[in-house]
Structure 1
Amino acid sequence: MDFDPWSPAFVADPYPAYAELRARGRVHWFEPTRQYLVPRHADVSALLRDRRLGRTYRHRFTDEDFGRTPPPAAHEPFHTLNDHGMLDLEPPDHTRIRRLVSKAFTPRTVERLRPYVHRLADELVGSLVAEGGGDLLTAVAEPLPVAVIAEMLGIPEADRAPLRPWSADICGMYELNPDEETAARAVRASVEFSAYLRELIAERRARPGEDLISALIAAHDEGDRLTGQELVSTCVLLLNAGHEATVNSTVGAWWTLFRHPEQLAALRADPGLVPTAVEELLRYDTPLQLFERWVLDDIEIGGTTVPRGSEIALLFGSANRDADAFDRPDTLDLARVDNPHISFSAGIHYCVGAPLARMELAASMTALLERAPELRPVREPERRPGLVIRGLDGLLVEV
């Protein structure tokens, strides 16, 4: 099978094509997206830490210097929102913003949420069981992380309904070669989401609370503070990243378990496997399959010079199935302990919310194992068409 991110057959199971890419070499030019594909674990892991690559180039070059066309003016609201979040910045701005966010988003802050996360997971699963089943995505996978990150940031419950649609529309721009309709939805969501957050931030400035937005407003270090746009962009990033991958990971994990009944039986027999099971399920079917980087200075990969101005696609999904990094990589092993997966990235852009994501995934898995021990799928789910953010349209289950 060829690497074809727009083919439903490829999206359904990209792993044979990844294996071919790894066998053929360390780097491959892909003309349709004008990117260099990097499929092997050692290279992806090293390049995530290599400062010759960046999530942006605008801290060093103009679009013209870099041989790139500026984004259309109509897309400006999306880019203003996206480009001021730490995911798409490089030092020194990235360093400053991440340091300020880390002052507010502490391990203690996350740990304080543990009782709430487990109580909410138990309530959601309890409702699913009382109904005799339903869509695991809308009943458990989606409401849990959306509620948790909204609670953490201090978004009132009555305001939470648009968060997931806004996030989905914005994240559409992260797919390969998004079309104009996708861009228009992302722009509209960026405008609405930003306007809502500016109002909420103004309220919190006037009346601070015990929430993360109040802490981000107050966070300062050696005279540094987040600008107004950085604050909005950081809140959107935390909201989007705080649930998007977790939603897809939860549903994808259970679909993987249903297709590996012997592993699911082992997990049901020993719920103590949950921590390693979470890591293995994140590795086996990676929720974010591809991350892009710009080449800021010429770099050599496996004898191929990748020139400055190029874009590299780091194939996380392929790296997580590399036999050079994992024993029996195509085998699901929920007891796997030697598991250097890169599903949370690496280097300066390592996911700041990884501990929260792990907590949420473990909480919903534990609640489903305890309260729905006979959980089973009703039918095969439909897969969403995108490659970068890998997910299902839903997962109907019965108990």
Structure 2
Amino acid sequence: MNPLASKSPAGSPAKDSAIGHGSAIGAALDVAGVFTPQSAAFVADPYPAYDELRAAGRALYYAPTNQWLIPHYDDVSALLRDRRLGRTYQHRFAHEDFGRTPPPPELEPFTVLNDNGLLDLEAPAHTRIRRLVAKAFTPRRVEELAPVVQRLADELVAGLYADGGGDLHARVAEPLPVAVIAEMLGIPPADRALLRPWSAGMTAMYELNPGPDAARAAVTASEEFSAYLRALIAARRSDPGEDLISALIAVHDDGDVLSEQEMVSTCALLLNAGHEATVNTTALGWLQLFRHPDQLALLAAGRDDAERLADGVEEILRYDTPLQLFERWVLDDIEVGGTVIPRGSEVALLFGSANRDPARFPDPHRFDVTRPAAGNKHVSFGAGIHYCLGAPLARLELAASFGAFLRDAPGMRPAAEPLWRPNYVIRGLQELPVTW
């Protein structure tokens, strides 16, 4: 749940309606007993629980966060595109209209940074900013990064291989996308170690019910990163380069330009969304390949086949997606599977469940790297207006790193059990020890 405003108080229309539906559902399934994202065992393997949720219904009320869980692919896909829902409600309603209170003033550094980013905006602001950003963050810019991405991947994989092993997460999965984002933004190498801690501080706020420690860390990270970016933007205004920040400064559309805050929030989003998914997909992908040696052998045999590698990357994204849940607010009453979800409610779209829905994917629990990418329409990058802007870059990075391992460092195997992060929404490993 978005932590930036208080939960609906008892007695609000949204909460009363939700509880009314939820009690009927509860007779068939103890939703809170099945969906347990606070549990380490659930985080490590939520998929059996998702099977139960899909069997129980299409909209399931979850009292601990006052949300409606949506576990089926068709519903998740449709609600991502449905304009009766939004990532925010503030373009149409006040907090009080939704039975909520404004975020506390001490969170302002985070809320300002977050609320001006594309991920949490709706039309017309989203349409305008995405149009301007797309003029700078073009497919050609991503294509031009390909040699840099491949060089970085090759160097990181070669270093791990030369050492005979180590933590794949810390040595390759984390540094590659951070280095690529830094290269794209024009951040000097000496400053790049700052990026990952800033991102971790901010993205912890997207978990369900983050606590006060997470809020304080997010505020600190937001203040520091915003100040850093403002100084970098000022430097690029006086001395433009070939980097994305210079392009964002220069971009215009009929006289319209991005404000400094919009540029800062865009860069922060590129860092957070642009590398968190790639970091976690890399480590989760190798974990699944180790657990499915027949699929690793198939991928290795086709390591020089770009199409085979692309199929494998899409299957990794589908089978164990790093973004398990995506929240949206109900702006006008909707109906899902016969259940009315009233305005003011929040839905939690379960990406991990949707990607294992047998109604959409044949034999969904089978990890199959030969599953054709053309038909593998997972929702790991979202859909609709909030479809991930950086998806082409993420795919480029994933193909580069998996290809480098398969080509230049064959025979890698796990050296110990992986260590999971406690996070559920943005889910991934903390360590993945490997050896040769």
- Give the TM-score, by structure 1 length: 0.99
Which residue pairs with 2:331 in the alignment? 296
Which residue pairs with 1:351 in the alignment? 388
Which residue pairs with 1:336 in the alignment? 371
Q: Distance in 1 between matches of 2:88 and 2:216?
A: 22
Trace 1:1-399 onto structure 2 (pairs within 5 A): 2-271=34-303, 272=305, 273-337=308-372, 338-399=375-436
Q: Distance in 1 between matches of 2:435 and 2:363?
A: 32
1:386 shift after superposition: 1.1
The amino acid that maps onto 2:390 is: G
The amino acid that maps onto 1:330 is: H
1:205-237 C-alpha deviation (Å, 9 max, x unpaired): 111111100000111112211111111100100
Q: Distance in 2 between matches of 1:171 and 1:143?
A: 17
| Count of aligned residue pairs for this structure pair | 399
Q: Percent identity?
A: 69
Corresponding residue SS for 2:43? helix
Q: Distance in 1 between matches of 2:241 and 2:302?
A: 41
1:74 shift after superposition: 1.4
Q: Distance in 1 between matches of 2:49 and 2:254?
A: 49
Q: Distance in 2 between matches of 1:235 and 1:119?
A: 23
Q: Distance in 2 between matches of 1:322 and 1:129?
A: 37
After TM superposition, where is structure 1 displaced by more than 2 Å over at least 4 residues in a row? none
Q: Distance in 2 between matches of 1:224 and 1:156?
A: 29
The amino acid that maps onto 2:393 is: L
Q: Distance in 2 between matches of 1:298 and 1:385?
A: 34
Q: Distance in 2 between matches of 1:11 and 1:144?
A: 25
The amino acid that maps onto 2:61 is: W
Q: Distance in 1 between matches of 2:310 and 2:243?
A: 28
The amino acid that maps onto 2:402 is: M
Q: Distance in 2 between matches of 1:268 and 1:351?
A: 29
The amino acid that maps onto 2:273 is: A
Q: CA-atom RMSD, angstroms?
A: 0.8
Q: Distance in 2 between matches of 1:303 and 1:357?
A: 37
Corresponding residue SS for 1:294? strand
Q: Distance in 1 between matches of 2:298 and 2:118?
A: 40
Corresponding residue SS for 1:393? strand
1:87-144 C-alpha deviation (Å, 9 max, x unpaired): 1000000000000010000000000011111111111111111111111011111111
Corresponding residue SS for 1:37? strand
1:11-50 C-alpha deviation (Å, 9 max, x unpaired): 1110000010000110000000000000000000000000
The amino acid that maps onto 2:218 is: A
Residues 169-178 or 232-241, more deviating: 232-241
Which residue pairs with 2:17 in the alignment? none
Q: Distance in 2 between matches of 1:13 and 1:345?
A: 21
1:282-308 C-alpha deviation (Å, 9 max, x unpaired): 000011000000001111111111111
Q: Distance in 2 between matches of 1:330 and 1:62?
A: 43
Q: Distance in 1 between matches of 2:237 and 2:89?
A: 33
1:144-175 C-alpha deviation (Å, 9 max, x unpaired): 11111110111111111110000001000000
The amino acid that maps onto 2:114 is: N
- Give the TM-score, by structure 2 length: 0.91
Q: Distance in 2 between matches of 1:120 and 1:200?
A: 23
Stretches of structure 2 that go unaligned for 5 or more consecutive residues are: 1-32
The amino acid that maps onto 1:318 is: S
| Higher helix proportion | 2
1:185-222 C-alpha deviation (Å, 9 max, x unpaired): 00110000001101000001111111100000111112
Corresponding residue SS for 1:222? coil
